[in-house]
A and B are shown apart, each in its own frame.
Chain A
Amino acid sequence: SAVISQKPSRDICQRGTSLTIQCQVDSQVTMMFWYRQQPGQSLTLIATANQGSEATYESGFVIDKFPISRPNLTFSTLTVSNMSPEDSSIYLCSVEDLSGQGTTGELFFGEGSRLTVL
């Protein structure tokens, strides 16, 4: 199973600033996924990050607000730009299990980055 580390685990940010969240995986993975979980809500997929190509964003999410980098097969970043209090959420990185025997399709998640925007 994949081990996923996210940084920061939590942060308090000022309105109008930007914050970059890092996601490090202990194995090479093709697809990485970024989710948002607003307070008391379920998870919403922001975008899919594929190494070597532009991220694919879901409806309601745009690259200018949530730029994503995927420089290699073990790392990705998500930036939350020009933050407002409505961006206060937990942001989660996820990868699909790609064990040596072939994928089972299960997802592994980081512990999340809890952002509070004042």
Chain B
Amino acid sequence: DAKTTQPPSMDCAEGRAANLPCNHSTISGNEYVYWYRQIHSQGPQYIIHGLKNNETNEMASLIITEDRKSSTLILPHATLRDTAVYYCIAGGKAGGYQKVTFGIGTKLQVIP
């Protein structure tokens, strides 16, 4: 898996967009970018993934730069329930065996 770099913590005002950056400059051509989050005392939850196109689902949007060396997870309207540790992972592959290495992630605090 490619190594990822994320800021250790971020704050976001409730109702505003939360933009969480991730650097993955060593990502290879067939590696996807996955985002998970872990709310306190719960198991990690899958959010979204992409290869090179931007992706959107009911939870978030994923913006991947053209060179694929970085990406941004966007929570369009953050709520208090979005307070969690967010993990960016570059590696594994969709459609196959998914061995995932977690980094330290970004601790997002949504502030009322």
Contacts and interface: CB of A to CB of B under 8 A. Distances in A.
Interface in A30-63: 31, 33, 35, 42-45, 48
B46 A107 contact: yes
Contacts of A94: 43-44
Interface residues of A, number: 25
B34 to A, nearest CB: 7
B97 A102 contact: no
A106 B99 contact: no
Interface in A1-38: 4, 31, 33, 35
Contact of B95 (A103, A108, A109): A103
Nearest to B89: A107
Interface of B: 32, 34, 36, 41-46, 49, 87, 92-105
Interface of A: 4, 31, 33, 35, 42-45, 48, 92, 94, 96-97, 102-112, 114
